[in-house]
Amino acid sequence: MIKAIHPIPAFTDNYIWALLHADDKRVCVVDPGDANPVIDYLQGHNLTLTEILVTHHHPDHVGGLSRLVEKYAPQVVGPKGSHIKGINRYVTEGDRVSVSDTPFSVLEVPGHTLDHIAYFCDGTETELPKLFCGDTLFAAGCGRLFEGTAAVMHASLAKFTSLPPNTAVYCTHEYTLANLRFAIAADPDNAALQARLQREQEKRDQSLPTLPSSIALELQTNPFLRCQDAALQRSAELQLHHKPENEVEVFAALRRWKDNF
């Protein structure tokens, strides 16, 4: 089992997630964009790095790989076909990865990038289900469409909506407050959004992470997971100047609006 999960802050708003093995000696990290904070964390807690999980090829997620591989020789798991230097186990949809005897399933979730994957593990009596989703899903938001289309990203996000509601969502950026401000603009009568903004602001005022989120909370407050909602369809219509034909068109309108918000 995974004993604990800790955020390692990196750059200005990244989190490198550290998954502590049950033996308190080994650790897995997710998306190490910078080696230095990982090395500091390992040395400060007398830990050995045994695995790295990679979600996609952007430098702020893989920039620390070469140094960490050279120093610790961990297993590095990442998306097949991505040509990320340092990966020594390539995975695709449905493959399984084990961290401290906790099995994770690989989900292919293109859109932000075409090689993007996520890692999901089912819950047990003592552990919540967990999702490490990189930059595909954010707290109250989603990643920009750098490589995929709106239809591709919408389909990828739909994979997450079918996960158990109590799934803990570990994304990799502290974008929550900005995302919530946009979500309120798009869905101004949503009381759950107002309450969430207040809660998350209180955390940030104390320099605490707003993550992890949960699938249940995202289904309540994330506009990009709620394109079937009448209020968001009305907001999309105002952006498009015509009635959207389907949820993908709603999603595309919201994503373009967010890009310029």
Catalytic amino acids?
A: 56, 58, 60-61, 112, 135, 173
First to last CA, the chain: 41
Instruction: Tally Cβ neighbours within 10 Å of residue 152.
Output: 18
Question: Which amino acid is it at 98?
Answer: S
Kindly tell me the burial class for residue 53, based on how many C-beta atoms sit within 10 Å of its own C-beta (0-12, 13-18, 19 or more): buried
126 CB neighbour count, 10 Å cutoff: 6
Structure tokens given for 243: 């009635």
Distances (CA, A) of 159 to 119, 138, 162, 193: 12, 14, 6, 23
